[in-house]
Amino acid sequence: MDFRRQLPSVDQLLHRDDLISLQKEYGHDLVVLATQSVLDQIRQDAEAEQKILQGIDFPDLVQKCLLEWTSPTLVPVINASGVILHTNLGRAPLSAASVMAIQRAAHEYCTVEYDLSSGRRGSRTIHTADLLRRLTGAEDAVVVNNNAASVLLVLTALARRKQVAISRSQLVEIGGGFRIPEVLMQSGAHLMEIGTTNRVHLDDYLQALENGASIILHVHSSNFKVIGFTAEPDKSDLVALAHEKKALYIDDLGSGALLDTRRFGMTAEPMVQDAIRSGADIVCFSGDKLLGGPQAGIILGRKDLLVKIKKHPLYRALRADKICLAGLSATLLHYLKNEAETCIPVWRMIAEPVEEIRKRAKSWQDFLHLGELLESTSTVGGGSLPGETLPTVVLAIAVKSPERLLKKLRSAHTPVIARIENDQVVLDPRTVFPEQETQLLTTIKLLLETN
């Protein structure tokens, strides 16, 4: 017997009322493809089981198929993990002003490379250069796609065929396959490893410079810590040595901070202003780590070097787009107006007092009538302040299978990302926006009721 005969044709199905309305919603062509795909699947299943499948609801299957094909994979989530700069969750959430600036730049025409006074072509670097100069004291600035792009561009434009001295303790892998020795090789620079894994001295750098190195590259150990018997020369001594020997000093700060992390009870993350003040020729850092802006790579430094960088063909390939520039300038403006701590979400989360967090966790507990409040820690994450934590209070929920509850939370309509601590599911208010709380709590309530 031929199962195929028993099945309706694509054409017959397309004329049914429910499929006609699907065509209005999704367009004719996509519905045809989905219908074909559903019929193929049914045919395969029927052949495998050697029988006709009864009671098939075709429109329902077609609709399910269309939903699967068209639902976005990039969806908003509630981050209750307590990791402020969660790289897998998109790092820094943006300030309201940044989002507004991005929305306008994206939706309307804008002066990304247009000079209104002359009516001629303008420069895309002006939108952020002045702000960055004022904030950091650098001579000039340029913005590229991300900080990995900064490092690649800076080295390609300035270090090609040159010897670059770098300490063995700084030949790091950042994550996502970004390894300093490989980037150096890609840029055409020659790597000159100096020092040891744990210790490097001023004299090691001196030797390198006398043996032909013309650039010193300093890379911040963003995501790990070397403790114990360690040594590294003072940055200003190193810069002075480089300049005495007519060499360049390039500083990859990784995260870089414009505010002092020590004010929030953490160790010092290198500050961009300090790196410029120390005399570094080039300083680069990320836009979406501690700066709290959109994904970007920011390159600061000497005007003559920035000219070379901007002229390099790679700059054209790596430059930031209007959306990034709009969001970044709005974020930088918060620093200039001294409102970063209240307006930039990353800093607002870092600055939130633990007593405030305790109150929020308590209100969650009161609403849900379950869980207990526990002292715990939030982390900054995103390749900054490794091992550093902020005291927090979490709502801990004890269930038979914490893994199963985590999974259920992830599959909620607005997914919730939580973590497990001592066999309990814990939710950290620090990274949850107050305006997400109602949604978070109703989601949890519903999940636990149907558990």
Ligand X SMILES: *Cc1c(COP(=O)(O)O)cnc(C)c1O
Nearer to ligand X, 286 or 379 (CB): 286
Q: How many residues does the chain have?
A: 451
Hey, how many other C-beta atoms are within 10 angstroms of the C-beta on 95? 25
The Cα–Cα gap between 350 and 379 comes to 9
Nearer to ligand X, 93 or 429 (CB): 93
Residue choice 140, 252, 281, 428 for contact with ligand X (CB under 6 A): 252
The torsion angle over the Cα atoms of residues 114, 152, 260 and 94, rounded to 10 degrees, is: 50
Is position 124 an interface residue for ligand X (rule: CB under 6 A)?
no
Based on its alpha-carbon atoms, the radius of gyration of the chain, rounded to whole angstroms, reads 28
Is position 220 an interface residue for ligand X (rule: CB under 6 A)?
yes
Residue choice 63, 81, 147, 378 for contact with ligand X (CB under 6 A): 147
**Which 350-409 positions form the footprint of ligand X (CB under 6 A)?**
383
The Cα–Cα gap between 144 and 153 comes to 9
Stretches 57-65, 128-136, 144-152, 305-313: which one binds ligand X (CB under 6 A)?
144-152
Helices (H), 176-312: 180-187, 202-210, 235-244, 272-277, 303-311
In the complex, minimum distance from the CB of residue 255 to ligand X, in angstroms, rounded to a whole number:
6
Is position 151 an interface residue for ligand X (rule: CB under 6 A)?
yes
Which residues have a Cβ under 8 Å from the Cβ of 169 and sit 6 or more positions away?
Answer: 195, 196, 197, 198, 199, 200, 221, 226, 230, 232
In the complex, minimum distance from the CB of residue 178 to ligand X, in angstroms, rounded to a whole number:
6
The Cα–Cα gap between 56 and 77 comes to 35
Nearer to ligand X, 66 or 84 (CB): 84
Number of residues that bind ligand X (CB under 6 A): 15
The Cα–Cα gap between 336 and 131 comes to 8
Hey, how many other C-beta atoms are within 10 angstroms of the C-beta on 142? 26
Is position 251 an interface residue for ligand X (rule: CB under 6 A)?
no
Nearer to ligand X, 65 or 92 (CB): 92
What does the block give as tokens for 167? 């300490």
Is position 424 an interface residue for ligand X (rule: CB under 6 A)?
no
Stretches 73-81, 130-138, 142-150, 413-421: which one binds ligand X (CB under 6 A)?
142-150
Are the C-beta atoms of 386 and 359 separated by less than 8 Å? no
Is position 286 an interface residue for ligand X (rule: CB under 6 A)?
yes
Residue choice 297, 301, 327, 371 for contact with ligand X (CB under 6 A): 297
The Cα–Cα gap between 3 and 349 comes to 61
In terms of Cα–Cα distance, which of 135, 123, 118, 185 is closest to 319? Answer: 123
- What is the x/- site pattern for ligand X, positions 29-68, by CB under 6 A? ----------------------------------------
Residue choice 42, 174, 209, 440 for contact with ligand X (CB under 6 A): 174
Are the C-beta atoms of 215 and 247 separated by less than 8 Å? yes
In the complex, minimum distance from the CB of residue 254 to ligand X, in angstroms, rounded to a whole number:
2
Residue choice 63, 125, 146, 169 for contact with ligand X (CB under 6 A): 146
In the complex, minimum distance from the CB of residue 286 to ligand X, in angstroms, rounded to a whole number:
4
In the complex, minimum distance from the CB of residue 222 to ligand X, in angstroms, rounded to a whole number:
3
- Contact residues: ligand X, CB under 6 A: 146-148, 151, 174, 178, 219-220, 222, 252, 254-255, 286, 297, 383
